[in-house]
A and B are shown apart, each in its own frame.
Chain A
Amino acid sequence: MKRHLLSTADLSRDDAVLILDTAEEIARLAARPIKKLPTLRGRTVVNLFFEDSTRTRTSFEVAAKRLSADVINFSAKGSSVSKGESLKDTALTLEAMGADAVVVRHSASGAAYRLATAGWSSSHVVNAGDGTHEHPTQALLDAFTMRRHLGGFEERRVTVVGDVLHSRVARSNVHLLATLGARVTLVAPPTLLPVGVESWPCDVSYDLDAAIPGSDAIMMLRVQRERMNGGFFPTEREYSRRYGLDAQRMAKLPDKAIVLHPGPMVRGMEISAAVADSDRSVIVEQVANGVSVRMAVLYLLLSGSESAIGSEEGHSQHQNTEPKGAVA
């Protein structure tokens, strides 16, 4: 039975379209005087955040509250978690409190997967970002935003630029956009591309200027300044010159192309202020759409006797066959 949202790679095209369509209906309700829907009354959604992320946490909180769920924010800071309580004990505690869904953000890749499959908890698990693995609701809101502007995904080219190596947003976007039929190009210096990226369902380029003219949407990923100290690129200036989106480069985008950024932005690094604030930029829209998309995800996972989307219990794209790690 489908139960969780852990990775966009677990979503079929039908699943993905259902989420976007549901989000679209929900977005239409946002203009009503009473925004709250009674759908998840009596359900408890726990926001379990081991990493600070006020914007993602708030977005999930608003989404759950608009569906009338009770929301418990359980953040690592100032709680038993920071005193060394394990993920397992936290999960057992939340289980005892009767959490129906756990929205989890964790610095360790696979933490959401582990929470869903280790048998510690019977809650639905929504991955709100796990390490450098995935951030499925971010990709869904990106896709939602793109679909509104581009009309669809077939024959659309999406260019994702920046620190792909450390980006959970990039991974989730590549899987989802490929599933939806878009053509994705990753652009980054070779040091910021993961080993094996050739096998991902996308194109890869080191040259931003070559990718820009064919892009219907361009997504700039945040580049953390720490990466410079890791030796991934020589200087901020050089990075920005080769891979930053400024007004000059933006001018070479096709007429209706849009600029996305998952935030938080480092203005002057991967994106110039002029671009971020331009009419091409849909960055503020992305935030608004985040609530609708997260409402759709919570609704589809939690409202019925069975979830309509997502990863199966103890089962995902990562394990669609019996574990084959043991060689006969």
Chain B
Amino acid sequence: MPVIPQGARPVLDEADISRALTRIAHEILERAKGAEDVMLLGIPTRGTFLADRLAARIADVEGTTVPVGSLDVTMYRDDLRLKPARALERTEIPDEGVDGRLIVLVDDVLYSGRTIRAALDALNDLGRPRAVQLAVLVDRGHRELPIRADYVGKNLPTSQRESVKVRLREHDGVEHDAVYLGIESETAI
């Protein structure tokens, strides 16, 4: 199992990630003034698990469950032609729908911003939210589009030669969550 990238060093451990998510959950509630019309949409694959975790924390704090779903952006990507055709991920929009809601997009790493651009387009085809915000576990810089995150777990200055790998228990078969920084040699996240 490709658990830990070769030669990569951990920059966030499980406790760091847990704290970051708890903080983001609080920040979301604070800025939204409650959980009432919030909907979390994770961007597959790891964004989906992070969205679930955020929802659980919001439930702990606020006692209410916010709707959580997933939003696959593959069909909206601008780099489709640059890579071999790939499998689609699940899009699961909660029954409430996105119209008039505060949508918080959740992803693991914010890099060029192109995934989020695709997500905004995908969201646009689903309806008209009241507002859209972005929560990411790691912001590693090097934006190629005018996009910024509203909630950031950790700002991680990187070089473009480096890669950032997030490993989550639910998805990656690891015992502990972690974020690694390594040299770009394997497939980018």
Contact = CB atoms under 8 A, between A and B. Distances in A.
Interface of A: 18, 21-22, 25-26, 28-29, 32-34, 36-39, 67, 299-309
B125 A25 contact: no
B7 to A, nearest CB: 28
A304 B91 CA distance: 20
Nearest to A31: B93
Given A28-B91, A36-B125, A307-B85, 5 more contacts: A25-B90, A34-B125, A37-B76, A304-B86, A308-B86
Interface of B: 72, 75-76, 80-91, 121, 125-127
Given A25-B72, A39-B76, A299-B75, A308 B85 contact: yes
B87 A21 contact: yes
A32 B88 contact: no
B85 A306 contact: yes
**Interface residues of A, dominant DSSP:** loop
A304 B87 contact: no
Contacts of A302: 85
B75 A39 contact: yes
A67 B85 CA distance: 14
Nearest to B87: A18
Contact of B75 (A33, A38, A309): A38
B87 A22 contact: yes
Nearest to A68: B75
B125 A32 contact: yes
Given A32-B126, A37-B75, A301 B85 contact: yes
A291 to B, nearest CB: 15
A34 B98 CA distance: 13
Contacts of A36: 125
Pairs A-B, 3 closest by C-beta atoms: A304-B85, A308-B85, A306-B84
Contacts of B80: 39, 303-304
14 contacts: A21-B88, A29-B91, A33-B125, A34-B126, A37-B125, A38-B76, A39-B76, A302-B85, A303-B75, A304-B81, A304-B84, A305-B84, A307-B84, A308-B86
B81 A305 contact: yes
Contacts of B89: 25
A190 to B, nearest CB: 43
Contact of B85 (A32, A33, A303): A303
Nearest to B72: A25
A22 B125 contact: no
Given A38-B76, A39-B80, A299-B75, A25 B85 contact: no
Instruction: Give the residue among A36, A38, A300 with the most B Cβ atoms within 10 A.
Output: A38
Contacts of B82: 305
A25 B88 contact: yes
Contacts of B127: 33
A36 B125 CA distance: 8
Contacts of A28: 90-91
A26 B125 CA distance: 14
A305 B83 contact: yes
Tell me which of B75, B87, B90 has the highest count of chain A C-beta atoms within 10 A of its own C-beta. Answer: B75
Contacts of A18: 87
B40 to A, nearest CB: 19
B85 A300 contact: yes
Contacts of B125: 32-34, 36-37
Contacts of A29: 91
A40 B125 CA distance: 16
A308 B87 contact: yes
A36 B76 CA distance: 11
A18 B84 CA distance: 14
A186 B127 CA distance: 48
A33 B89 CA distance: 20
A304 B83 contact: yes
A299 B88 CA distance: 10
A38 B124 CA distance: 12
Interface centre among B83, B85, B125 (most CB of A within 10 A): B85
A22 B121 CA distance: 20
Contacts of B90: 25, 28
A22 B88 contact: yes
Contacts of B87: 18, 21-22, 308
